[in-house]
Amino acid sequence: ETGVTQSPTHLIKTRGQQVTLRCSSQSGHNTVSWYQQALGQGPQFIFQYYREEENGRGNFPPRFSGLQFPNYSSELNVNALELDDSALYLCASSTPAGQNSPLHFGNGTRLTVT
């Protein structure tokens, strides 16, 4: 069983630039969620994708957007990067919401905005 994989592992961008992070979901999982984890804090929900459509969104501005592809992989795009966007971005896959459907996380992409 292949776990959740994310790329790249580390990324350094300049304020105002745009970034794309990628995620391959765990085998058998068709739902992908993205979380932002600032240093020393718990993960915060950005959004979830199911059947290639956004299926829930946290308190993040529209410059955070995403895609899900037919193979269930996903991208997180962030436009107009700000210094506060520096964080670990976690992708998690799961089966659709229901009984016993925990999140399975990848190891994240560490984004540094300078």
Partner 1 sequence: QQQVKQSPQSLIVQKGGISIINCAYENTAFDYFPWYQQFPGKGPALLIAIRPDVSEKKEGRFTISFNKSAKQFSLHIMDSQPGDSATYFCAATRDNYGQNFVFGPGTRLSVLP
Chain positions contacting partner 1, by CB under 8 A: 4, 31, 33, 35, 40-45, 48, 55-58, 90, 92, 94, 97-108
Q: Which is nearer to partner 1, 16 or 56 (CB)?
A: 56
- Residue 36 Cβ, how far from partner 1 at the closest point, in Å? 11
Can you spell out the DSSP letters for 20-73? EEEEEPPTT--EEEEEEE-TTS--EEEEEEETTEEEEE-S--TTEEEEE-TTS-
- Residue 104 Cβ, how far from partner 1 at the closest point, in Å? 7
The residue to which tokens 């990848």 are assigned: 106
Q: Which is nearer to partner 1, 15 or 51 (CB)?
A: 51
